[in-house]
Structure 1
Amino acid sequence: MKVLKFGGTSVANAQNIKLVLEIVKQKAQQDQLVVVVSALSKVTDLLQSAAAKAAANDESFRDVVAEIEKKHLDTLKELIPVSEQSSLLSHVKRIINHLETLLDGCFLLGELSPRTADTILSFGELLSSFIIAKAYQQINSDAVYKDSRELIKTDNNFGKATVNFEVSNQLIKEYFAENKSKINILPGFIAQTLDGITSTLGRGGSDYTAAIIAGALDAEQLEIWTDVNGMFTANPKIVKQAQPIANISYQEAMELSHFGAKVLYPPTIQPVLRKNIPILIKNTFEPEAVGTLISNQISSNDTVVKGISHIDHISLLTLEGPGMIGVAGSSRRLFEVLSQEKINVIFITQASSEHSICIGILNSDAENAENAINKAFEIEISQNKIDPCYVEKDLCIIALVGENMKNHQGLSGRMFSTLGKNNVNIRAIAQGASERNIST
């Protein structure tokens, strides 16, 4: 069995969906398939906009709903023969009416709870998967639609729910043991709490849905179909000579995707990583291209540096002072404060003298982090043992990634001298003991 996931651009409109249906048709000749689909392109953004407007008592949320409705009805009309459309159009309109009722509630109350937001955002995937399933059933009747909420169960942390793997894996195995259809089409991104309330899996949620199902079923392969020919040696929009990478290890892929390679979201790898299930990244619009295979195979004659990646809009926070030298627990206090504020730390470096510690976080978190750190260390700051937190905004992290880098001398030197020759100032450096990643 193979699990295929198609992202928003792959299902942007009826024309693109026809390409998806053709790929599924070809694949179904050899394998039993699970097909996970995202919402139509930009629909999640439209749903967020409608919810925000409704909660702000802005009547124009109805215009956004009308746009969402038109987008789905137009797609359905182009994919389904006229003789089959009537009941399906009614079903889509019922779903849209339900959405509008929820938004009316937000409008009347003037608020949007995380629980309601998750329910509203779920409509994108529910609509796209229903339409795509019905369109594929015109080609092959041995295809069924299954609501992922019945299979994937989570906690009540709405917005980015944590999956209950014990329950979910059992439900997935039971369903697929009983259901022998050649093709199962499911919505990505959405799940359900144990008490039956709709939840979502956060950013990269459709990839995650596909990986959860692949992991539970010990699938032969997880295929992620997107709008690029796999992972590249650098961002092809910035670096013209960037090349697609044919083979890459799980660890290298996670490093590159953590540092901004948008093709893959790191948490999505976890369920398949544990089972050593290969991930193939392919281009819906160029299916004959080789793509990128992510697996646990590391070749000794592989390229030393697999890729160069980056994250923009970074702030560097520095905490330093003589009061940190030899004092146990300063780092723990710093990271505890950031954890309590739910701030994700992207980059860490500390001088061996323990005189200073630098952390990289997103610009959007910088003000909150600065205030929280200064409050936590206010006694030491007032006694001049530690300086107030120093913030530098609008920086960028560049990372050199490669499994074989540890076997080659002088890579750091070449990287730093190249930046120096090009008048690029390095503010901080971090390298793990695995030497799989050099970050500046």
Structure 2
Amino acid sequence: MKLVMKFGGSSLADADRMRHCAALVRSRVAKHQVAVVVSAMDGVTEELLALADAAAAGTRAVAEAHLAALRRGHEEAAAALGEPGRVRELLDELDRLAGGIAAVGELTPRSRDAVLAFGERLATALFHRALTSAGVKARAFDGGEAGLVTDDRFGDAEPLVELSLYQVAETLGPLIAAGEVPVITGFIAATQHGVTTTLGRGGSDYTATLVGAALGADEIWIWSDVDGLMSADPRIVPGARRLERISFSEAVEMAQFGAKAMHPRALEPAAERGVPVRIRNTFRPEGEGTLIAREGDAPDGIVRSVHVVHDSGMILVTGAGMIGRVGTAARVFEALGEHGINIRMISQSASEAAISIAVGAGQLEAARAALEARLLRTGHARRVLVEPEVAIVAAVGAGMRGTRGVAARVFGAVAARGINVIAIAQGSSELSISFAVGRDAGPDAARALHDEFGLAKG
């Protein structure tokens, strides 16, 4: 069996946790071919960002404080694991890079990627040492060395997938066949010219699925600090339970609504090649976690999970002039896109006289200003109204496709609790139904749906 095991930052927070994770790898190496992907230690990416910003701003004392914190955490782990040399070299290299940024007084996207890459580079050096100390034959690789190639969109680089899969298979395939464990930096890749890039949000998971797809893995294990994906947030739904299996499409939908899951983009390589992904708890390794697999392999069920996105606001754009006018929705999207505002939900009346848009609460005023400037000034809309305190509730499940009466059950359950629905949206995939309610009503709506569909029972 071929396994790719990816460890998140909380799993690698210090030397003791690294030893624990190394033991998890060692327990599988005797019977399986294993590759490992490593995230930065917990909190390190944020520290590196702060260091880069302080260096560019010329605030030397602040930059030195961040560098000192990075040194302290990594050197303590290195001393405990017996790997001070390589870690010290990397920290000195980081110090020189920060000095160069300070001298120029500018932080380019390329330089930012170079700084951020040190989190995974340092963690990989430390975890490689933890593995070899545990008696595991291992070899460390940067993402680029392993064969991951991207475009040059620094900060959110896009892998050249086919080339990356070929190169990773060529580089790592012979190693795992010989019983050696490659330890690869997550999040990091390189352009075709060898310049370091980062893969953006969910980048380490993306690395793991690319490696798994390239090696033809039987499963990809994502080790973190949760038991798996849940039927709801247990903090607001006491009966929430762990989901044993879900489909890739359900996992993508759940992630869109804020479930503590993988980034949708990171699931693509595994989904396209049918490689199952299992989310497991590093600190309860005996648990089976949640398996994400092809849709036909997932168990039956109409609704699988319920989610609440709390920090939201609604904007209502209205006007008789919108009726039959081509391009109104496009103007809304363009106005918000130009200001970097993400749309969480959209609903349009059949009369075309109103469009409701949900955005993050922190972007609500900017969204209103952008829409007023674009639509009211030109006469494309008459009013832009704001509802500031809103929660978005979503029911997710592949079983909703083609099943009659799901919407009636959803809104009947909510109405029975006396909850007013502000706006409704359902995509053509029928994988989810989402709706907006008052902020304080969100948790109660989630509990109502969880009860209605018997999610606590499995």
TM-score (norm: length of structure 2): 0.88
Runs of 4+ with deviation above 6 angstroms? none
Would you say 1:164 and 2:160 are equivalent positions?
yes
Aligned length: 430
Aligned to 2:378, the other structure's residue is in SS state: helix
Work out the CA distance in 2 between the residues paired with 1:38 and 1:405: 36
Work out the CA distance in 2 between the residues paired with 1:240 and 1:65: 42
What is residue 175 of structure 1 aligned with on the other side?
A: 171
Of 402-411 and 392-401, more deviation after overlay is shown by: 402-411
What is residue 200 of structure 1 aligned with on the other side?
A: 198
Work out the CA distance in 2 between the residues paired with 1:183 and 1:284: 19
> What is the one-letter code of the residue matched to 2:17?
N
Work out the CA distance in 2 between the residues paired with 1:120 and 1:186: 18
Work out the CA distance in 1 between the residues paired with 2:104 and 2:28: 48
What is residue 71 of structure 1 aligned with on the other side?
A: 73
Q: Give the counterpart of 2:120 among 115, 125, 130.
A: 125
Unmatched tracts of structure 2, length 5 or more = 436-458
- 1:415 is displaced (CA, Å) by 2.9
Q: 1:414 to 1:321 in 2, by over 3 A?
A: same
Q: 1:246 to 1:365 in 2, by over 3 A?
A: same
Aligned to 1:267, the other structure's residue is in SS state: helix
What is residue 61 of structure 1 aligned with on the other side?
A: 63
Would you say 1:95 and 2:90 are equivalent positions?
yes
What is residue 17 of structure 1 aligned with on the other side?
A: 18
Would you say 1:270 and 2:260 are equivalent positions?
no
Work out the CA distance in 2 between the residues paired with 1:248 and 1:41: 28
Q: 1:60 to 1:342 in 2, by over 3 A?
A: closer
Aligned to 1:316, the other structure's residue is in SS state: strand
- 1:359 is displaced (CA, Å) by 1.9
Question: Deviations along 1:179-199, whole A, 9 cap, x unmatched?
Answer: 344311111011112222211
- 1:32 is displaced (CA, Å) by 0.9
- 1:321 is displaced (CA, Å) by 0.7
8 A contact 2:247–2:298 mirrored in 1: no
8 A contact 1:313–1:362 mirrored in 2: yes
Q: 1:291 to 1:370 in 2, by over 3 A?
A: same
Work out the CA distance in 1 between the residues paired with 2:355 and 2:117: 42
What is residue 84 of structure 1 aligned with on the other side?
A: none
Q: 1:211-360 to 2 correspondence within 5 Å?
A: 211-298=209-296, 302-360=300-358
What is residue 5 of structure 2 aligned with on the other side?
A: 4
8 A contact 1:300–1:404 mirrored in 2: no
Work out the CA distance in 1 between the residues paired with 2:42 and 2:302: 37
Question: Deviations along 1:327-349, whole A, 9 cap, x unmatched?
Answer: 12211222233334443322111
Work out the CA distance in 2 between the residues paired with 1:279 and 1:308: 21
Aligned to 2:35, the other structure's residue is in SS state: strand
Question: Deviations along 1:313-365, whole A, 9 cap, x unmatched?
Answer: 22322222111101122112222333344433221111011111122222333
What is residue 85 of structure 1 aligned with on the other side?
A: none
Q: Give the counterpart of 1:413 among 408, 412, 428.
A: 408
What is residue 38 of structure 2 aligned with on the other side?
A: 37
- 1:270 is displaced (CA, Å) by 0.4
Work out the CA distance in 2 between the residues paired with 1:236 and 1:36: 29
Of 125-134 and 26-35, more deviation after overlay is shown by: 26-35
Unmatched tracts of structure 1, length 5 or more = 81-87
What is residue 451 of structure 2 aligned with on the other side?
A: none
Q: 1:297 to 1:418 in 2, by over 3 A?
A: closer
- 1:212 is displaced (CA, Å) by 1.1
What is residue 143 of structure 1 aligned with on the other side?
A: 138
> What is the one-letter code of the residue matched to 2:400?
M
> Alignment identity in percent?
34
Question: Deviations along 1:405-430, whole A, 9 cap, x unmatched?
Answer: 24544433333344344444322111
Q: 1:365-404 to 2 correspondence within 5 Å?
A: 365-381=363-379, 386-404=381-399
> What is the one-letter code of the residue matched to 1:78?
A
8 A contact 1:248–1:298 mirrored in 2: no
- 1:71 is displaced (CA, Å) by 0.8
Work out the CA distance in 2 between the residues paired with 1:398 and 1:274: 29
> What is the one-letter code of the residue matched to 1:349?
S
Work out the CA distance in 2 between the residues paired with 1:425 and 1:272: 40
Question: Deviations along 1:198-241, whole A, 9 cap, x unmatched?
Answer: 11111111001001111222221111111111100011233222
8 A contact 1:226–1:263 mirrored in 2: no
Aligned to 2:11, the other structure's residue is in SS state: coil
Question: Deviations along 1:68-123, whole A, 9 cap, x unmatched?
Answer: 1111111122223xxxxxxx313211211121222223333443222211111111
- 1:63 is displaced (CA, Å) by 1.5
What is residue 441 of structure 2 aligned with on the other side?
A: none
8 A contact 2:29–2:179 mirrored in 1: no
